[in-house]
Amino acid sequence: MQSPWLLLLFIASVAFSSPVNDTFLWGSYRPNLYFGIRPRIPQSLLTGFMWFGTQDYASISQTRHACDQGDQLQSYTWTKYDPRQGGVQVIKDARNNVQLTTEFLKVPGGDHGGNWAARIKGEPLDPLQPSRISTIFYLGMEGLGGIDMDTDEEDNGLEGDIKFTGSSPELDDFGIRIVDGPSNTAVTNGPHSEVFKDRIGKSHFMGQPVPAGNIWQAKEFILQSLMKRAQEVIAPYQDPAAGIPDPSFVLQLPDEIYSGSNLYAVQKSFDGEFQFDVFYESASSKQTLSSSTLDEGIAALSTSFEQRFKKVFPTPSDYSLKGSKDALDAFSQAITSNLVGGVGYFYGNSIINEKFSYEWDEDDEAEDRSASDEKGPRLTEPKKLLTATPSRSFFPRGFYWDEGFHLLHIGAWDNDFGLEILKDWIDLIDDNGWVAREQILGEEARSKVPAEFLTQVPNYANPPTLTVAVTAFINRVKTASLGPSDADLGMDFGMGSSQTPLTEVKTEPGNRSLDPEVATAFLKDIYKPLKRHYDWFRRTQRGQIKQYARKARSRTEAYRWRGRSDKHVLTSGMDDYPRGPPHAGELHLDLISWMALFSRTMREIAEFIGENDDAISYGEIEKAILDNIEDLHWNEEQQMYCDANVDDDDESYHVCNKGYLSLFPFMLSLLSPDSPHLGAILDVVRDPEQLWSDYGLRSLSASHPEYGTGENYWKGPIWVQMNYLVLGALHNRYAAEEGPYKLRAQEIYRELRKNIIDNEYERTGYVWEQYDPNTGHGQRSHPFTGWTSLVTLILTEKY
Ligand code: 6A9
């Protein structure tokens, strides 16, 4: 079939065809869907999968496509996922009595990012009950390029393999085949089966043109097309006495292809166990994939994943944890797989408002915001982003400070992949040095966000965690270039050593970027934007120091989150954590602590790449910040670090709220082990009336008047990433270095780690956004595939 896109394509490919050989081109990069494979190319081939039960007519209104807590699936979890090889996901849907397995296998070859295969299998959860499922796999082409389906437009559906060919500037020519497994059966009996006999047991399909940028709404287009036909088919059966046909005979795609189609769907309906495969073959690879490619490939992937996992993230065996070693291994593998399998690729514009400002922020010299004269919200240029996501159902998009934590974990698993993600985040740093806290790129991402949260404001920050991922990377580079005997084997407080053997570290897949030369080149590349980012923080989040001038050793280092409202400081990341009243003279303890860490990490980066003058000045700033944390934020009567504020008489005072906030100088390892304040902090940490619970540290002291009140988001519940920071500070510094509290720190480390790991993870099959400090039960968004997965690093003691 000759079509206009061929001509366009020809022009485009002459203009910018270059072979891509990118190991990370393909992935489950649509993590908002239960299963969606796409390349990390802005506008290209999107694939997706959906299913509904045909046990009744109602189930189609609950077609499963985008992850949704309302679907009430028992679980969906990647049990294995490797960004180079693919993975295995298990989905349990009790309403439709089906357990689905989605397997994804990457097969290298050719010059355009390789091939892949997917297998979708189903079996009844309860074998004694019927399991009637209809599945739809779709492919859509966005941007330049096209897809044709190989069919004579059979009115009654297709038997055998279903074939597509397509092409795009980046992917070049490719083929897609959908192939049935060996023993699928369809519903054959039922009222009026005679009438429908020619269509039973076949694949049904549709193809239609969809406007640019709309493929993400495939579910709506496809179900409309299906329902249109279903209404026509059902019309003659108005008399209930005559019996209504079985839903699986009626709820079928129309077997029509419109000209100019760029969205195609293939539907298969089953009675009981089933299986089918999808093969994507890049023409340049000249390979033909088959079901045995998947049989063998997935088996090999499972074995190599487990072997490598045990090497990279070993579970210590001689530690008295509640779970058995096997159970902990499986759990740890699943949470890591969900983090990595939850990485998405996003592309599109976003909404910013340069002029928005709260009254207490109004005095700011708005140099960063005066660049544009435009008032009110506006759309930015489109941007691309490869990023992990905190939650596939509730917030499947990039969040700035979450990402630093994600990258600690991803980078330890696959350093190269971690750097690809980091690079995309660095690319978001704008000319002023700003990065939006929440990355809501494109219509699909926006469709998940209530209007009042869409707009990002260019003087709002979020905790600077990215450089922590960068220094973790530098530490891996340093460790990898030492021999195993020279390397620091880390602390071991009697739970057995869990250090990775260092031999072969560099040559492992995933670690090529640990080569010191490669690493240095990468760091030199990102240094300039990072520095711009750092300068942006220091310039725009600076606090007023005049009311504190008598106390402060440094006249410059004081900080305040912009963009807080009366009750929330979303920019701090700890949304409803108690704070003082909003005031232009307010100073935030967490932000100044983050700035100390930011300065420290910038110094380490500068030292590594030989920017020695910069390294010295970062060091000086860090020192000034540490002085001011003592001068401005330590409250001697209350024996704790506090926010500071200014009253109506222009006098400064402390705002003290015991909880995660008061731990910051300790939690970010800013205090020296002989700090006179360490003892008081450890007392609060270990006190069951304050932060200590059997399941981890509470966000707010149990003795605080606001504990557990209001939204109760950051007023008590346990957050794993914060516990990870505390454990890291203990493990790497206070339990390791000499000081009066060393033994105490070791003891607390051991107990806290055990409490976190022993919590209820296996009970629900999910990890959760946060945990109830009274029961340990997971709460809020689930599955939470972001920073809660740090339990893996806690288990294997990588901080
Ligand atoms: C609003 C909901 C259909 C809140 O993990 C991401 C962030 C953290 O960075 C932050 O520290 N979460 C934490 O306090 C989740 C934020 C989700 C906002 C989504 C829209 C739509 O519901």
Residue-wise DSSP of 483-546:
-TTTS-----SSS---PPP-TTTTTSTT-GGGSHHHHHHHHHHHHHHHHHHHHHHHHHSBPP-G
Mutate to test the pocket of ligand 1, among 387, 392, 393, 395 (most ligand atoms within 8 A of CB): 395
Q: What is the pLDDT of residues 709-727, one digit of tens each?
A: 999 999 999 999 999 999 9
3-state secondary structure of 22: coil
pLDDT band with cut points at 50, 70 and 90 for residue 322 = confident
Closest to 246 (Cα-Cα) out of 304, 192, 185:
192
| Gap from CA of 53 to ligand 1 centroid (Å) | 32
Active-site position among 246, 361, 769, 772: 769
Strands 86-93, 172-180: pairing is unpaired
Q: Please pick, among 180, 575, 630, 631, the residue that the annotation labels catalytic.
A: 575
Q: What are phi and psi of 490, to 5 degrees?
A: 85, 175
Q: How far apart are CA 709 and CA 716, in angstroms?
A: 9
What is the C-alpha separation between 494 and 686, in angstroms, rounded?
20
Atom 13, ligand 1: which residue's CA is nearest?
573
- What's the whole-number mean pLDDT along residues 643-653? 96
Tell me which of 101 and 507 has the higher pLDDT.
Answer: 101
What pLDDT score does 458 carry? Answer: 94
**Lowest mean per-residue pLDDT among 7-16, 318-327, 447-456:** 7-16
- Whole-angstrom CA distances from 353 to 747, 761, 789 are 49, 41, 33
pLDDT at residue 493 tops 90: no
Q: Is the CB of 449 under 6 A from ligand 1?
A: yes
Which helix (DSSP H) or strand (DSSP E) does residue 268 occupy?
A: strand 263-271
Residue 490: the pLDDT is 46
Of 167-176, 368-377, 543-552, 595-604, the one with minimum mean pLDDT is 368-377
Do 37 and 104 touch, CB atoms closer than 8 A?
yes
- pLDDT value for 374: 58
Interface predicted TM-score (ipTM) over 0.85: yes
The yes-or-no answer on residue 769 being catalytic is: yes
Distance 704 CA to ligand 1 centre (A): 24
Distance CA(513)–CA(522), nearest Å, equals 8
Instruction: Tell me which of 480 and 372 has the higher pLDDT.
Output: 480
Relative to the CA of 786, which ligand 1 atom is closest?
A: 5
Lowest-confidence range among 225-229, 245-249, 277-281, 316-320? 316-320
Q: What is the pLDDT of residues 348-367, one digit of tens each?
A: 999 999 888 899 998 775 55
- What DSSP assignment string belongs to 126-139? STTS--EEEEEEEE
**Distance (Å, rounded) from C-alpha 513 to C-alpha 610?**
19
Alpha helices, DSSP H only, in 283-432? 291-312, 325-341, 400-413, 415-427
State the pLDDT at residue 242.
81
What average pLDDT does range 484-508 have in this prediction? 51
Strands in 17-68 per DSSP E: 26-27, 38-39, 45-53
Q: What is the pLDDT of residues 729-775, one digit of tens each?
A: 999 999 999 999 999 999 999 999 999 999 977 677 679 999 999 99
Question: In this structure, are residues 768 and 782 in contact, taking their beta carbons and an 8 Å threshold?
Answer: yes
- CA 394 – ligand 1 centroid, Å: 8
Question: Residue 2 has what pLDDT?
Answer: 45
- Ligand 1 mean position, distance from CA 744 (Å): 35
The number of the ligand 1 atom at minimal distance from the alpha carbon of 769 is 5
**What confidence tier does 532 reach under pLDDT thresholds 50, 70, 90?**
very high
- CA angle, 524 then 527 then 533, to 5°: 170
User: Which residue's CA lies nearest to atom 15 of ligand 1?
Assistant: 395
User: Of residues 4 and 510, which shows the higher confidence score?
Assistant: 510
Ligand 1 centroid, distance to 197 Cα (angstroms):
50
Which range, 189-198, 295-304, 357-366, has the best average confidence (pLDDT)? 295-304
258-284 pLDDT, tens digit per residue, is 999 999 999 999 999 999 999 999 999
Q: What is the mean pLDDT of residues 287-298?
A: 98
Q: For residue 608, which phi and psi values (nearest 5 degrees)?
A: -65, -35
pLDDT of residue 15: 41
Instruction: Quote the pLDDT of residue 241.
Output: 82
Looking at ligand 1, which residue's alpha carbon is closest to its atom 22? Answer: 394
Q: Is 450 in the pocket of ligand 1 (CB under 6 A)?
A: yes
Tokens standing for 360?
Answer: 């207490």
Record the tokens describing residue 139, joined without a space: 């492919």
pTM of the prediction? 0.94
Is any ligand 1 atom within 6 A of the Cβ of residue 402? Answer: yes
Which pLDDT does position 610 carry in this prediction? Answer: 98
Active site residue 747: no
Average pLDDT in the chain: 92
